[in-house]
Amino acid sequence: MADLITLLSERLAAAFDTVAGTAGNDPVVRPSDRADAQANGALPLAKQLGRNPREVAEAVVAAAELDGVATAEIAGPGFINLTIDDDFLGATVASVAADERLGIARQASRRIVVDYSAPNVAKEMHIGHLRTTVIGDAVVRMLTFLGHDVIRENHIGDWGRPFGLLIQYLLDEAAAGTIDLEHLPLHALDDAYKAANTRFAEDPEFAERGRARVVLLQQRDPETIALWTRLVEASEDYWTELYGKLGILLTNDDVVGESFYEDLMPKVVQQLHDAGLLQESDGAQVVFPPGFTNRDGDPLPLIVRSSAGAFTYATSDLACVADRTGRLGADTLVYVVGAPQSQHLAMVFAVSEMAGWLTPPAEAVHVPFGNVLGPDRKMLKSRSGDPVRFIDVVDEAITRGVAAVAEKNPELVGDARESIGHAVGIGALKYFDLSTDRIKDYVFDWDRMLSFDGNTAPYLQYAHTRICSLFRRAEVDRATVRSLAPQVREPAERALAVRLLGYEAAVLETVERYSPHRLCTYLYELSSDFTAFYEHCPVLRAESDEIRLSRLALSDLTARVLAHGLGLLGIEAPEQM
């Protein structure tokens, strides 16, 4: 435990209890711009005791055991400003540097299913898949690092009427000789998917054959399933390519599509019936979870079987919950799904609890996010008005990253330019998405995301490369500086050291709220602190060997935290750029 806030809180809590004469008082220690930290707890305590706040603060300081840790000073109406002792600061930094986990302990392991990305078979992924994919992947990486048993699930759309229609369309076209079933690239499937829907609406004979094909699919007719399987495989190949370029952990092993839940849905409905939760409403089988109302103020149903007898996406989502807590034994279900699904998921979770599929302490969490907007502040569209293809965005990010690297550092050529440019471009794309509060919409802007100034991936990556460059020039093995306690004297050194010790809190806070932008903000502040340090404190030309090594130690830990933090976000940290 290297977190200064926690450490100071513990030290001061005892003093607060002594002064208050009661237990459990909160010292309210917070980061401060006037000291390394400040304790605000004396003000409410004074109020409670009916005493003067400054007197209370003084009594607390007198009772506090801070020797060798920090000095305290009363300021203003009763704030306690805390300044960490330089030696203690250096020693604490050293304890983090000696730890491969950078001071972050493993948590009590939970089994956590993270549901993210969720593309559709035979359809292009579009810009709408960017956020769920990137945020979900960062969440997976962070939870895994904290020691949890994380199960990635890619809940693909692979079943139901659209696929019956698509298959019938493909068979018709193959018979007419306009399509080669042996050669079905994804863009052709995407076209066919749309064409099948159009033909369904316009051609009654096709509509009839299509419906029949839907039934054959449901019945798992071998010929139909054979073609369906190829559609799925073609789509998986496509996703694999995209995820590979983007650096996403999802693989085909993580695919659990709607088709998987097909068999479970009758059981789900049966269990709802057995539990007495099922009601008939306008010919549909529904559950009314308490607390949800429709536009007329009447109870709002979750429809698990339509009046036509079909299962709905609600049924499939319920089956999903039951499967994840049941078969997989998950404690926590995380859904990285857009904000518009908020009510739907809340209802699914509510019904799951009613049915006993989601029993505390098991919990389901919706991690919602806003939209990616175009310059007109509306949903991002391509010039033609079609949705922007995800793969095009990924490719353009790489192209722009390579171009940026080529421009800034012409000496980098060949494979190095390509791979570093890739890391910069993809990093920029991901970081731009992750660095704003996920609940808000953001305006997509290539220039800003690839800027080397401000809160961007290239800025962070550059800070990292500067440190790597220092070590190349110093000809010092980085591992050798990890066992020494840096001297922390200069303001820029202190600021950097204090920031380094905040990494644990930043990560824990980020995970607790499933808000990657908190980690981004931390890493940006760390980079800023480092560049200020780099500017004001000569490293290689320090006045003594001792200070040189000390500053190399601070630099090394900074680079490790940067690379590690970026890694948790799914972003690479090249050694040069």
Partner RNA sequence: GCUCCAGUAGCUCAGUCGGAUAGAGCGACUGCCUCCUAAGCAGUAGGCCGCAGGUUCGAUUCCUGCCUGGGGCGCCA
Subset of 164-223 contacting RNA (CB under 7 A)? none
Note whether 469 binds RNA by CB under 7 A. Answer: yes
**Binding segment (CB under 7 A) for RNA, from list 104-112, 262-270, 353-361, 400-408:** 400-408
Note whether 295 binds RNA by CB under 7 A. Answer: yes
Of the two residues 39 and 216, which places its CB atom closer to RNA in the complex? Answer: 39
Among residues 1, 175, 212, 540, which is the contact residue for RNA, using CB under 7 A?
540
Subset of 299-318 contacting RNA (CB under 7 A)? 300-301, 303, 306-308, 310, 312-313, 316
Is the CB of residue 304 less than 8 Å from the CB of residue 313?
Answer: no
Of the two residues 20 and 443, which places its CB atom closer to RNA in the complex? Answer: 443
DSSP element (H, E) containing 81: strand 79-84
**Binding segment (CB under 7 A) for RNA, from list 182-190, 194-202, 454-462, 563-571:** 454-462
Of the two residues 90 and 421, which places its CB atom closer to RNA in the complex? Answer: 421
Of the two residues 145 and 261, which places its CB atom closer to RNA in the complex? Answer: 261
**Binding segment (CB under 7 A) for RNA, from list 85-93, 232-240, 340-348, 392-400:** 340-348
Cβ within 8 Å of residue 6, ≥6 positions away: 505
Residue window 9-48: x/- pattern of binding to RNA, with contact defined by CB under 7 A: -----------------x-x-xxxxxx--x-x--xx--x-
Compute the least distance from the CB of residue 194 to RNA, in Å. 14
Among residues 56, 70, 114, 286, which is the contact residue for RNA, using CB under 7 A?
286
Compute the least distance from the CB of residue 83 to RNA, in Å. 11
By C-alpha distance, which of 225, 231, 140, 132 is closest to 190?
A: 231
By C-alpha distance, which of 136, 258, 109, 237 is closest to 183?
A: 237
By C-alpha distance, which of 532, 499, 503, 497 is closest to 519?
A: 503
Residue window 132-161: x/- pattern of binding to RNA, with contact defined by CB under 7 A: -------------------------x--xx
Compute the least distance from the CB of residue 92 to RNA, in Å. 18
Is the CB of residue 131 less than 8 Å from the CB of residue 540?
Answer: no
- What is the C-alpha separation between 362 and 110, in angstroms, rounded? 10
- What is the C-alpha separation between 304 and 311, in angstroms, rounded? 6
Among residues 202, 253, 282, 376, which is the contact residue for RNA, using CB under 7 A?
282
CB atoms within 10 A of CB 378: 10
Kindly give the pairing relationship between strand 111-115 and strand 332-336.
parallel
Subset of 60-99 contacting RNA (CB under 7 A)? 75-77, 79, 81
- What is the C-alpha separation between 159 and 313, in angstroms, rounded? 11
- What is the C-alpha separation between 114 and 538, in angstroms, rounded? 45
Of the two residues 352 and 435, which places its CB atom closer to RNA in the complex? Answer: 435
Cβ within 8 Å of residue 164, ≥6 positions away: 210, 211, 213, 214, 215, 216, 217, 218, 224
Compute the least distance from the CB of residue 320 to RNA, in Å. 11
Q: Is omega for the bond preceding 361 within 30 degrees of 0, making it cis? A: yes
Compute the least distance from the CB of residue 345 to RNA, in Å. 10
Among residues 107, 219, 281, 399, which is the contact residue for RNA, using CB under 7 A?
281
Note whether 344 binds RNA by CB under 7 A. Answer: yes
Compute the least distance from the CB of residue 312 to RNA, in Å. 4
- What is the C-alpha separation between 345 and 336, in angstroms, rounded? 11
Q: Is 74 helix (H, G, I), strand (E, B) or coil?
A: strand
Compute the least distance from the CB of residue 500 to RNA, in Å. 15
Note whether 443 binds RNA by CB under 7 A. Answer: yes
**Binding segment (CB under 7 A) for RNA, from list 94-102, 137-145, 214-222, 536-544:** 536-544
How many chain residues touch RNA (CB under 7 A)?
Answer: 98
**Binding segment (CB under 7 A) for RNA, from list 108-116, 134-142, 383-391, 468-476:** 468-476
Among residues 126, 466, 478, 494, which is the contact residue for RNA, using CB under 7 A?
466
- Tell the residue number behind the tokens 């549909």, with chain if given: 284
Of the two residues 366 and 564, which places its CB atom closer to RNA in the complex? Answer: 366
- What is the C-alpha separation between 240 and 529, in angstroms, rounded? 38
**Binding segment (CB under 7 A) for RNA, from list 163-171, 355-363, 460-468, 562-570:** 460-468
What is the strand order of the sheet 149-153 is part of? 149-153, 111-115, 332-336, 363-367
Note whether 297 binds RNA by CB under 7 A. Answer: yes
Of the two residues 100 and 535, which places its CB atom closer to RNA in the complex? Answer: 535
By C-alpha distance, which of 382, 542, 569, 539 is closest to 468?
A: 539
Compute the least distance from the CB of residue 149 to RNA, in Å. 26
Cβ within 8 Å of residue 562, ≥6 positions away: 460, 463, 464, 467, 523, 526, 527, 530, 573
Note whether 372 binds RNA by CB under 7 A. Answer: no
Of the two residues 294 and 384, which places its CB atom closer to RNA in the complex? Answer: 294
- Quote the distance between the C-alpha of residue 399 and its chain's center: 25
